[in-house]
A and B are shown apart, each in its own frame.
Chain A
Amino acid sequence: MLTLLVNGEKRQVDVSPDTPLLWVLRDDLGLTGTKYGCGMALCGACTVHVNGEAVCSCVTPVSALAGKKITTIEGLSRNSDHPLQKAWAVEQVSQCGYCQSGQIMSAAALLAKTPHPSDADIDHAMTGNICRCGTYQQIRAAIHYVAKQGD
């Protein structure tokens, strides 16, 4: 049995230690907001926060997470009201929506460190997150929207 701290709760899971966090979240803990896209940390659909850092859960074995604070899209805010989630609604970002949990988690990690990111900062932080629908322009606008709200 492994104990994980997910979205502020202690959760016990009975999985082999090399199981990627993504599949523990999805298949064992029922937290399906975090998505599978590539399994190789190439697309960012599986992005969660570990101690506040954006990481790809598809290549992070659960054995590496003892005592660490894991946050998924479900735990980002209590009522879907994180400033980025509000901005995502204002800018009407989502199309198919599949990559957006990961996009929001990457953007949240960016803004936590850099509240007023430049376009170059956004490029740097968000380049690991692929969107096949091509919502990049709206994602960029939503991140800037939050930065402006903070002023």
Chain B
Amino acid sequence: MDTELNIARRNFLKVSATLGAGLTLAFYLPASLGAARKFATSNDTFMQNAFIRIGTDSQVTVIVKHLEMGQGVFTGLPTLIAEELDADWSQISVKAAPADAKLYKNLAWGAPQGTGQSNSMANSFDQMRQAGATARAMLVTAAAEQWGVSTEEITVSKGIVQHRNSKRKANFGELADKASQMPVPDNVKLKDMKDFQYIGKPVVRKDTMEKLNGTAKYTIDMQQTGMLTAVVAHPPLFGAKVKSYDASKTKAIKGVIDVVQIPTGVAVLAEGFWPAKLGRDALKIEWDTSTANILGSDEILQQYKVLAKTSGAVVRSEGNADKALAGASKRVAAAFEFPYLAHAAMEPMDCAIALTETGCELWHGEQFQTLTQLNVSKALGIKLDQVKINTLYAGGSFGRRGNPSSDYQLEATHIVKAIAGRVPIKLLWTREDDMRAGFYRPLNYHTLEAALDDKGNIVAWHHRIVGQSILAGTPIEGVMLEKGHDPMSMEGANDMPYRSPNVLVDLHSPKINVPVLWWRSVAHTHTAFSIETFIDELAAKVDKDPVEFRREQLAGEPRLLNVLNLAVEKSGWGKPMTKGRGRGIALHKSFNTYVAQVAEVTVTKDGKVKVDHVTCAVDCGIAVNPEIIASQMQGGIGFGLSAAMKGAITLKNGKVEQSNFHDYEPIRMNEMPHVDVHIVPSNEAPSGVGEPGVPPIAPAVCNAIFMATGIRIRSLPISLHDLSDT
């Protein structure tokens, strides 16, 4: 063994001694095997990744660096490791990684640890497979040494290591100790696709059992000795502050322990939620609204409409769209309106926190660990690595638990700070708190204008977007703002796939005092809608079938064409429909995944819309788990449909008008269409599936409504429109 590898082993043992538990041995493996030697002389960086532990009981624990919020990452990433390790699926268990960006950074983002942009699988695919293959190689080397045979003669299958000729065999547990003494190989061969045992097959989700018997632990379930529940009275307007408060009635309520003022309101601490909530309701608070937003959403929209008459910052420009539009014989123009939307995850925002001797410790479903470490450390005046985060299951997130401002995490921090960390606290938001806290999908206004030539080809395209920036003013503003434009405001529009020699996309990012955030598929939620319904308008202008028109205008986009054709074929596109029914198509690429959907709707005489069926075709590269991919498409369609049908957060004089599921109502069982999902077989690198199912559904449904009624819907939600046949 050469010196470098000796160092490697020492580092390995050192790390495992610190983190290993009892007989459990740990393999802490570098991200790229090339990096193993490179970093071999540095104690700090050599063991860059810590993803697998193999116990002497043969239990393989996979440490997952991403938040499980329903998207299946606790199954998807362990699948990769099981595959290359040749483990048996039943011997794999899963654990959430601690917050530690050095070990668990999102490779697509560079430095920070976090989950988003549907990139968990994409950024982990090689990393997890290499980790699995490396551990396997060490087990094989250990067996070869123990049996005095060549590694070439050893096979591994379903957790059993076997010598081909002598039939000697051992399980992982029997080899774990020796394997941990083996050098970390710097070059492992990954499997060919044809040899995959787990990838491409629907293995059972690892979180299945605990989510059907009530034992899965979410933030709301956190309990510790002495822990108090905190409920906060928040200001009625964004930007308002506490002027004064009277807590005398609150303090008289049995179970209420303390009342403290924090930057975001007044917190009531009690033994349990109910007394805390009663205590909150009994507070008398005077608010300072002098710097608050008092604009209503109608007024905001009017401002945007005025802005849209002027040129915005150019984010894409090819040819001369203005000139081509001016000289065109066939022109189509339309404007589109999109409301604010709340995430409304089933588990309202919540966070448990304790001050500790070494800093602080949080328990919650965190999507963006590193930024919350940064924000909390600043609030407490400690170092980032003194903020320990235990990432729990999230009861849905849809982007909400990945807030660069760490709003509710900081609120919990300020509460525990205000009581000097006397006891741990658990901040619980009510549904009303959650729905009125802002961090919405931004309200948007778009204009689109296009010109067509005599052959029916698009010759000019101008897309103008007016909407608040998501990134401006956040700690990652500098990192992510490209050339002053927020990609989170225009993705999907700046890379619009339809062919046109003249393209202009410009953007206004007005500053409005309403907190906004990414919302499952971010800007694609609105850019896909305006583009895909507008394309139908263009097709109608030149008397073409919407599918034919798309095929013609999508040359050079083979993967989009592919999902289009698959969805068309499987949906029975073109078959006659009865009166009052319609079929619509939309397609969109987001997060490197290509999705086409055909929606079938029925519009009743009195104007009620029912989406009966959706055919969804998806190309997400290698389909790691087809069942989870199908679920994510169905879930994305359900989520997108909720917003399309009736989702809107509106403000009146600055006050949010909605409060709970009666006035912000997601679709229910009886409104969910049957969704058939068809996955394109692919050898391409895997891409995300958490978000890309969302963007096409609203335009597909509205295109279908046009076929059924002749009415074009250019503002959402659909419930705003009278579709009755009178």
Contact = CB atoms under 8 A, between A and B. Distances in A.
B661 interface: yes
B70 A20 contact: no
Contacts of A95: 70-72, 631, 635
B668 A92 contact: no
A144 B373 CA distance: 46
A42 B272 contact: no
A89 B208 contact: yes
B445 to A, nearest CB: 27
Contact of B675 (A32, A76, A104, A137): A137
A81 B254 CA distance: 40
Contacts of B431: 37-40, 43
A8 interface: no
Given A39-B430, A42-B662, A99-B346, A89 B669 contact: no
B274 A19 contact: yes
Contact of A129 (B70, B209, B218, B669): B669
Contacts of A92: 202, 204-205, 208, 627, 631
B273 A94 contact: no
A140 interface: yes
A45 interface: yes
B398 interface: yes
Interface string A122-151: 111011111111111111100000000000
B207 A94 contact: yes
Contacts, number: 179
Given A94-B207, A96-B395, A133-B638, A40 B346 contact: no
A74 B214 contact: yes
Nearest to B632: A95
B90 interface: no
A26 interface: yes
Contacts of A35: 218, 220, 346-347, 395
A72 B215 CA distance: 12
A94 B205 contact: yes
Nearest to A75: B214
Interface in A55-84: 72-74, 76-77, 80
B71 A130 contact: no
B706 interface: no
A32 B274 contact: no
B518 to A, nearest CB: 16
A35 B220 CA distance: 8
Given A80-B213, A96-B394, A96-B396, A127 B669 contact: yes
A34 B214 contact: yes
A123 B396 CA distance: 23
A90 B83 CA distance: 22
Interface in B452-509: none
Interface in A17-46: 19-20, 23, 26-28, 30-40, 42-43, 45
Contact of A32 (B205, B214, B344, B662): B214
Nearest to B72: A95
A97 B213 contact: no
A16 interface: yes
Contacts of B668: 126-130, 136
B669 A132 contact: no
Contacts of B204: 89, 92
B634 A122 contact: no
B362 interface: no
A38 B345 CA distance: 11
Given A133-B635, A134-B636, A134-B638, A97 B211 contact: yes
Contacts of B217: 32
B70 A96 contact: yes
Contact of A132 (B216, B398, B631, B675): B398
Contacts of B667: 134
Interface string B139-182: 00000000000000000000000000000000000000000000
Contacts of A42: 660-662
A34 B218 CA distance: 11
27 contacts: A23-B272, A27-B272, A27-B274, A31-B214, A35-B218, A35-B395, A37-B347, A38-B661, A40-B431, A74-B213, A80-B209, A94-B70, A94-B212, A96-B345, A97-B70, A97-B395, A126-B668, A127-B668, A130-B668, A131-B638, A132-B639, A132-B666, A133-B635, A133-B639, A134-B667, A136-B668, A139-B669
Interface of A: 15-16, 19-20, 23, 26-28, 30-40, 42-43, 45, 72-74, 76-77, 80, 85, 88-89, 92-101, 104, 122-124, 126-140
Closest 4 CB pairs of A and B: A33-B214, A134-B638, A98-B395, A97-B211
